[in-house]
Structure 1
Amino acid sequence: MAQQSVAILGGGISGLSAAYYLSKYSPMTKILLVEGSKRVGGWIRSQRVSPGFHASTPSAARADIDNILFEVGPRSLRPVGAGGAAILGMANDLKLQNEMLFVRKSDPSAKNRYIYYNDEINTLPNSLSSLLLNQPPVFKSVIRSILSEPFIGIGSGQDESLYSFVSRRFNDHVALNLVGAITHGIYAGDAKQLSVKSTMRMLYDAERTNGSVIKGMLSSKPLTPILSAEQDIINELTDPDITKTTSVFGFKNGTETLSIKLKHWLQQQPNVTIITDKQVRKIEKTADDNGIKVYSDEASVTVDHVISAIPSKKLDLLLTKKNSLVNLSTNPSVNVAVVNFAFEESVDLKYNGFGFLTPHPDSSYKLPVPGILGVVFDSNAMNGQESKQNSRLVKMTVMMGGHMWDATFGNARPGELDPQFAFKKASEALNVFLGITEKPKFSMTNILEECIPQYTLGHEHRLGELHRDIKHKYSHLLSVTGASYLGVSVPDCIKNSRLLVKDLLEKGALGTREHVITGLNKIVA
């Protein structure tokens, strides 16, 4: 068989992971990774900055002991499931063990989580005794709803919003103030718009399998069945006990350590070419339907297969009208303003935990500073990232906007928003919520445009339609991966790229061609 060629569109964590696994498992395959921006890593960005205010992430950082680490995007990673196993295995293969930091489940930042409710920060119960004996106001009616939930009738099985599902099985208060807050933390999204099947599948599966969410959680069986391919990834863990003791993990120099290392590893592989700062303008099938042509402004290349790891909306723009695909532009993505702070140690945070989230805006208790999604207490959440000199600084990150962007910033679009305005609004939030009025020693604002896809109602059904359309129009020529489809977290993106590559090599375009592999096959399995 002639040497096969694959073009990977997008150099975020999904594209980097696809290139990594493809090069690792098929070193004879010729791989071209094309990234439109000047850097790889996508929304993963870790930056050491000098004292003062930075209106955006500096293009370069000096290796100065006075600099402090700020995370623009993902900051901590969970080791659970196939996604956690995949990223731990990757870090191990890339010899990053000495760069990693692990937060134990016994750590206060793992045990102490908060929700701002009724004009105060509520500490969530972290044990049965605290649930029964020390309920915060946000937990009013929660125990009663837990006790009655097993007696609620089973729904139709049709997809419904997170809010609808939780309100039906528990009550309106739980749906808005607890699940609404959790949704802010994961998706910066609206629990009334997001699909329960696609965002919190375990809730849906618990009802279908056990007739009750509570019964499902008390069952010894997994709430959602684990695919055999995912179990294979879990079985590869060299230290399976790590999931029992670790809450989250990260890297001494931030999450971007992983994408930088992936890029360096790929650059050393003879079968991989990485091109950055180059926009792909169009992709189309060759006249004989045996290849697929990728066009940029200056050149074109024909390959055997394209893996699209760019957002689905961007893929939609690259396809010819004749071979366009359904549903690529249906889901919206939200904008998030991220403001990082670091204060002198004299600032009293008062809380020793991970951070707090805010309820859905339809909660009966309105936020005094609208549009705040949550605040992460970074100096609690990930110790070990700073020099001894900066180790006592109080770091935190304010996240604003998301589905509440217009309520937060009015008509200002992300590209028009003044970073100083976002900084002032975040500072106001710290004053109102935490009583912090001091001027930070370090601060940085970043406006992330369309950074988190929103899996709205019917997402899974639409993915099934997209799978069939890719199969019909592109056969073995095209597959998709990335946050637009089957999970927005870093571990999910890595896992899904790995599963895609494995299927392509074993039974798809680069293997037996026994099946057409789109990256969405599990949706219709």
Structure 2
Amino acid sequence: MRARMRRALVLRVRTCAVRRGVGGLMPRTLVVVGAGVSGLAAALHLSRVVPAAKVSEIGLESELLPITYNDAATKNRYLFVGGKLCKLPTSIRSVFSKLPPFSQPLAWSLAREPILPRSKEEDESVHAFFTRRFGAEMADYVVDSLCRGIFAGDSRKLSVRSCFPPLFKAERSWGSVLLGMLVGSGAVKWDGAKTEVMERARREGWAQWSLRRGMQSLPEAMEAALRAKGVEIHLHSPVTELRPAADGGCQVLTEGGILAADHVFSALPAGVLGPLLPTAWRPLAQALGKIGSVSVAVVNLEYEGRVLPVTGFGHLVPSGECGEILGVVYDSCSTPQHDRSGPPTTRLTVMMGGSWFTGAFGDPQRVSKERLLERAKETVQEQLGITGQPLTAIVKVHKDCIPQYGVGHWKLLADISEWTVSHRVPLTLLGASYDGVSVNDCIYQAQRGVERLQG
């Protein structure tokens, strides 16, 4: 992961002398290290392309594939518990019904939550938080699975304050998660420019979205937009070191030379950035090294015919059921537009590993693709009853791909921020390592990072 990520793009954006708030002029030469979605979004915003308009501004509006809240892929979600698929409640009536794997209707857990005392802890694990407020079954089945689906992580180690900040803030402000959510406490409100696409999403009730040619077309279009704006993009330029400059700026050392910058935006993972920092910034490097990450194996399978026993987005697997199998996405249900033309087929994605990768498969760099493929085929046979051989199989191991926000992550970020400000470090940290792992989170935080520099 580290060798590969150091080969990320290096972008240099030259701005005009834009006046900041109280702080004077914004730096003129800015370097963005790492050009995943976060780095590209920051560069787009710096070059005056508004990230909020990302889809329309970079020519992808016609490529959008919205999935609404009324779609079966949104309404039908499952857990695999006790050797069978269990549909999660999707209506008020189902909340009052006793449905497997729960021993009683969820309404009982929900009804008692508003009268429970609030915690005075500054942070706690996601599992402890939900056990305390909604009971063990909600924590063991639903929330455990949810953390595996989003973070590929262990809910007993992940921070509720950092992973689910609206829920933490709701209890802190109102003494109840449900009451707080009803009044909108803790919800993140978009404070950027509104666009037609955003209004359409609100009007039509989008739950999520994809792109007709796949999500890879997003960074490709962002790169093309940056080139059109005259942004320098240095391909295949491994960054070897960041070095403070005498003028208060920063030098970015690459195998191709040295880039001088007034300010650097790093979109590298925390664990990759740390070793690149100078000795004088050792406290920062040590803090970054505390932000861990996990590896995930993703196996895409395509089968002949319509072979799924149910229709929906997919199913998640609680860690108590099977540690290394995180879940299965029913791609043909959520984005049928991506299916091949001709006779019908069924596309699935099996997600494996995460916090359980090493224990189940060993070293992510050494495990064979054949072993992962066999485990994925066993999974769809055991959990979905699909016995045939796949027409297509693609196996990828994404090493250290999802950061883990452990208990106390918020304090670590506060310490990092305080140290960089007090030592006048010309560096802004972006990306999934800090404040949200989704694509939307990364784009939003990239915009906020640029705005903070602007003052």
Give the equivalent residue in structure 2 for 1:109.
Answer: 73
Give the equivalent residue in structure 2 for 1:462.
Answer: 412
CA distance in 1, matches of 2:337, 2:166: 33
Give the equivalent residue in structure 2 for 1:499.
Answer: 448
The alpha carbon displacement at 1:155 in A equals 0.6
**Contact 1:111-1:126 at 8 Å conserved across structures:** yes
1:64-84 per-position Cα deviation (integer Å, ceiling 9, x unaligned): xxxxxxxxxxxxxxxxxxxxx
Give the equivalent residue in structure 1 for 2:31.
Answer: 7
Question: Which of the residues 410, 414, 422 maps onto 1:472?
Answer: 422
Give the equivalent residue in structure 2 for 1:378.
Answer: 331
Q: Which runs of 5+ in 2 are unaligned?
A: 1-15, 18-26
Question: Could you say if the C-alpha distance between residues 260 and 25 of structure 1 is closer, same or farther in structure 2, counting changes exceeding 3 Å?
Answer: closer
Amino acid in the other structure paired with 2:278: T
Amino acid in the other structure paired with 1:222: G
CA distance in 2, matches of 1:140, 1:181: 19
Amino acid in the other structure paired with 1:359: P
**Contact 1:335-1:452 at 8 Å conserved across structures:** yes
Determine whether 1:292 maps to 2:233: no
Aligned sequence identity (%): 31
CA distance in 1, matches of 2:195, 2:62: 20
CA distance in 1, matches of 2:84, 2:49: 52
The alpha carbon displacement at 1:387 in A equals 4.2
Question: Which of the residues 397, 401, 416 maps onto 2:353?
Answer: 401
Question: Could you say if the C-alpha distance between residues 406 and 239 of structure 1 is closer, same or farther in structure 2, counting changes exceeding 3 Å?
Answer: closer
The alpha carbon displacement at 1:465 in A equals 0.3
Determine whether 1:316 maps to 2:301: no
The alpha carbon displacement at 1:408 in A equals 2.0
**Contact 2:339-2:347 at 8 Å conserved across structures:** no
> How many equivalent pairs are there?
428
Question: Could you say if the C-alpha distance between residues 124 and 302 of structure 1 is closer, same or farther in structure 2, counting changes exceeding 3 Å?
Answer: same
Amino acid in the other structure paired with 2:142: L
The alpha carbon displacement at 1:315 in A equals 1.2
The alpha carbon displacement at 1:152 in A equals 1.2
**Contact 1:375-1:399 at 8 Å conserved across structures:** yes
CA distance in 2, matches of 1:139, 1:24: 55
Amino acid in the other structure paired with 2:281: N
Question: Which of the residues 356, 365, 386 maps onto 1:415?
Answer: 365
Amino acid in the other structure paired with 1:495: Y
The alpha carbon displacement at 1:239 in A equals 5.0
Q: Which runs of 5+ in 1 are unaligned?
A: 27-85, 508-525
Amino acid in the other structure paired with 1:117: V
1:301-331 per-position Cα deviation (integer Å, ceiling 9, x unaligned): 2111110110111111111112221510102
1:163-191 per-position Cα deviation (integer Å, ceiling 9, x unaligned): 11111112122111110000011000000
CA distance in 2, matches of 1:132, 1:312: 44
CA distance in 2, matches of 1:294, 1:214: 48
Give the equivalent residue in structure 2 for 1:483.
Answer: 432
Q: Indicate the SS of the match to 1:255.
A: coil
1:107-137 per-position Cα deviation (integer Å, ceiling 9, x unaligned): 1111100001121110111101122246232
CA distance in 2, matches of 1:454, 1:141: 32
**Contact 2:59-2:221 at 8 Å conserved across structures:** no
Give the equivalent residue in structure 1 for 2:295.
Answer: 335
Amino acid in the other structure paired with 2:42: A
Question: Could you say if the C-alpha distance between residues 238 and 252 of structure 1 is closer, same or farther in structure 2, counting changes exceeding 3 Å?
Answer: closer
Amino acid in the other structure paired with 1:276: L
**Contact 2:238-2:255 at 8 Å conserved across structures:** yes
RMSD, aligned CA: 1.9
**Contact 1:323-1:473 at 8 Å conserved across structures:** no
Q: Indicate the SS of the match to 1:240.
A: helix
Give the equivalent residue in structure 2 for 1:132.
Answer: 96
CA distance in 2, matches of 1:282, 1:463: 22
Give the equivalent residue in structure 2 for 1:144.
Answer: 108
Question: Could you say if the C-alpha distance between residues 297 and 94 of structure 1 is closer, same or farther in structure 2, counting changes exceeding 3 Å?
Answer: closer
Give the equivalent residue in structure 2 for 1:207.
Answer: 171
Give the equivalent residue in structure 2 for 1:231.
Answer: 191
Amino acid in the other structure paired with 2:47: S
Question: Could you say if the C-alpha distance between residues 134 and 395 of structure 1 is closer, same or farther in structure 2, counting changes exceeding 3 Å?
Answer: farther
Amino acid in the other structure paired with 1:257: S
Amino acid in the other structure paired with 2:255: D
**Contact 1:13-1:493 at 8 Å conserved across structures:** yes
**Contact 2:123-2:161 at 8 Å conserved across structures:** yes
**Contact 2:239-2:255 at 8 Å conserved across structures:** yes
Amino acid in the other structure paired with 1:458: G
The alpha carbon displacement at 1:19 in A equals 0.9
Determine whether 1:179 maps to 2:143: yes
1:420-445 per-position Cα deviation (integer Å, ceiling 9, x unaligned): 10000011111111111100111100
Amino acid in the other structure paired with 1:7: V
**Contact 1:251-1:385 at 8 Å conserved across structures:** no
Give the equivalent residue in structure 2 for 1:435.
Answer: 385
Determine whether 1:18 maps to 2:42: yes
**Contact 1:357-1:375 at 8 Å conserved across structures:** yes
Question: Which of the residues 189, 192, 195 maps onto 2:159?
Answer: 195
Question: Could you say if the C-alpha distance between residues 238 and 394 of structure 1 is closer, same or farther in structure 2, counting changes exceeding 3 Å?
Answer: closer
CA distance in 1, matches of 2:136, 2:59: 48
Amino acid in the other structure paired with 2:411: H
CA distance in 2, matches of 1:175, 1:407: 23
**Contact 1:307-1:478 at 8 Å conserved across structures:** yes
The alpha carbon displacement at 1:141 in A equals 5.7
CA distance in 2, matches of 1:172, 1:396: 31
Question: Could you say if the C-alpha distance between residues 424 and 25 of structure 1 is closer, same or farther in structure 2, counting changes exceeding 3 Å?
Answer: closer
Question: Which of the residues 235, 240, 263 maps onto 1:276?
Answer: 235
Question: Which of the residues 440, 451, 459 maps onto 2:401?
Answer: 451
Question: Could you say if the C-alpha distance between residues 444 and 314 of structure 1 is closer, same or farther in structure 2, counting changes exceeding 3 Å?
Answer: same
CA distance in 2, matches of 1:239, 1:25: 16
The alpha carbon displacement at 1:205 in A equals 1.3
Q: TM-score if structure 2 supplies the norm length?
A: 0.90
The alpha carbon displacement at 1:377 in A equals 0.2
Map 1:10-49 onto structure 2 (within 5 A).
10-24=34-48
Question: Could you say if the C-alpha distance between residues 8 and 262 of structure 1 is closer, same or farther in structure 2, counting changes exceeding 3 Å?
Answer: same
